């Protein structure tokens, strides 16, 4: 057993603490706030590395069949929660960055060209591994234009792998208990519409109740609802119609013990998207405060690029959209006795 591990050696502090080399010092024009600028961005990259580490670990679990009440699912929920907590810290770090004024930044900004946060290949890989596809990206024409070929190759490989969103879609599609006929033997249908919406009479009843809950100005929602329940429809927001139905069922009946972990998983994805959006908004606001309408040091359009990414880069939009199709708890169709037992572990 090794008993000689030293704190500094274990953390490689010599490398970390000697990794700050301000450009302003090299130009014999020392700018005090450049040290803060470097440390904050190095901290961001370390947290991006951890977020990627957690993302890959969740993806590895989801590549295998996952029981809906298993230690593996609990592990996924726990790691998604950790990712959200890290993201909140990333947002809070902007408060520290904003202790630097625009004039402080100008003391060294022009010395950084063409370096830019836009060149963070780890963040681009993280987006891809979560599920942001190339076709969804804002500013496709230059999002990798400032990167070296080895980093471009890493991003391209990440885009070709099954993302977390794809793996969650697969997990939702194989939700087993809904398809088992024995769980619905004593279900009492109300609507009786033929053929069954989404392949199941339960969804006929739900559609009828949902339609009655819509205000006059919301009638277009019914067409969107029907698209979710048409197996001929293309995947929307990264989720297939079958996966959408499973996710909506989980949201509706999350009070049952068997669905609590699946609901927490879906909620974790929504929180990740929300924190990404919050980080992008704070980043955009900070950039506008610091450089106004000027272009970024890496050649991007600065605030305008960040605004476009904020508006477009929602990864789990397909999950978020399902909240449009919820109804009040007291109006939910009563499940069959067998289904209630299955979801309640009895």
User: Which residues span the domain enclosing 321?
Assistant: 17-343
Instruction: With respect to residue 111, please indicate whether it lies within any of the assigned structural domains.
Output: yes
Q: How far apart (Å, rounded) are the C-alpha atoms in residues 192 and 188? A: 10
Instruction: With respect to residue 209, please indicate whether it lies within any of the assigned structural domains.
Output: yes
Instruction: With respect to residue 39, please indicate whether it lies within any of the assigned structural domains.
Output: yes
37 is in an annotated binding site: yes
Range of lowest pLDDT (6-10, 11-15, 216-220, 225-229): 225-229
32 is in an annotated binding site: no
Per residue in 2-48, pLDDT (tens digit) is 678 899 999 999 999 999 999 999 999 999 999 999 999 999 999 99
39 is in an annotated binding site: yes
41 is in an annotated binding site: yes
At 138, the pLDDT band (50, 70, 90 cuts) reads: low
283 is in an annotated binding site: yes
Residue with tokens 């449009």: 324
Instruction: With respect to residue 166, please indicate whether it lies within any of the assigned structural domains.
Output: yes
CATH classification of the domain holding 170:
1.20.58.480
108 is in an annotated binding site: no
End-to-end CA distance of the chain: 48
Instruction: With respect to residue 7, please indicate whether it lies within any of the assigned structural domains.
Output: no
148 is in an annotated binding site: no
Structure tokens at 137: 């990206």
Instruction: With respect to residue 229, please indicate whether it lies within any of the assigned structural domains.
Output: yes
At 256, the pLDDT band (50, 70, 90 cuts) reads: very high
Q: Which residues of 149-161 are buried (b: 16+ CB within 10 A; e: fewer)?
A: eebeebbeebbee
Instruction: With respect to residue 51, please indicate whether it lies within any of the assigned structural domains.
Output: yes
Question: pLDDT at position 177, please?
Answer: 73
Three-state SS at 316? coil
Query: What total number of domains does the chain contain?
Result: 1
155 is in an annotated binding site: no
At 312, the pLDDT band (50, 70, 90 cuts) reads: low
Three-state SS at 153? helix
Instruction: With respect to residue 296, please indicate whether it lies within any of the assigned structural domains.
Output: yes
């Amino acid at each position: 057993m090794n008993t000689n591990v030293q704190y500094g050696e274990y953390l490689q502090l010599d490398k970390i603490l000697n990794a700050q080399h301000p450009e302003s010092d090299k130009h014999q024009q020392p700018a005090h706030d450049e040290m803060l600028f470097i440390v904050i961005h190095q901290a961001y990259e370390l947290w991006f590395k951890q977020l990627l580490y957690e993302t890959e670990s969740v993806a590895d679990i989801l590549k295998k069949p996952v029981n809906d009440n298993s230690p593996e699912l609990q592990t996924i929920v726990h790691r998604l929660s950790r990712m959200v907590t890290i993201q909140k810290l990333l947002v809070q770090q902007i408060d520290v960055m904003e202790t630097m004024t625009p004039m402080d930044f100008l003391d060294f900004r022009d010395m950084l060209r063409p370096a830019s946060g836009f060149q963070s290949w780890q963040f681009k890989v993280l987006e891809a591994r979560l599920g942001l596809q190339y076709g969804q990206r804002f500013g496709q024409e230059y999002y990798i234009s400032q990167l070296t070929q080895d980093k471009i190759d890493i991003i391209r490989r990440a885009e070709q792998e099954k993302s977390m969103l794809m793996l969650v879609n697969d997990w939702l599609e194989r939700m087993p208990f809904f398809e088992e006929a024995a769980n619905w033997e004593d279900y009492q249908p109300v609507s009786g519409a033929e053929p069954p919406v989404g392949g199941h009479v339960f969804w006929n009843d739900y559609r009828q109740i949902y339609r009655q809950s819509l205000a006059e100005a919301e009638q277009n929602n019914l067409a969107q609802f029907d698209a979710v329940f048409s197996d001929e429809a293309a995947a929307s927001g990264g989720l297939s119609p079958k996966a959408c139905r499973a996710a909506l069922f989980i949201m509706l009946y999350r009070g049952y013990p068997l669905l609590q972990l699946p609901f927490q998983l879906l909620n974790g994805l929504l929180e990740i998207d929300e924190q990404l959006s919050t980080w992008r908004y704070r980043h955009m606001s900070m950039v506008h405060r610091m450089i106004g309408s000027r272009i970024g040091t890496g050649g991007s359009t600065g605030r305008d690029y960040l605004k476009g990414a904020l508006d477009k880069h929602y990864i789990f939009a397909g999950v978020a959209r399902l909240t449009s199709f919820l109804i009040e708890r007291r109006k939910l169709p009563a499940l069959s006795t067998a289904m209630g037992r299955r979801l309640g572990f009895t």
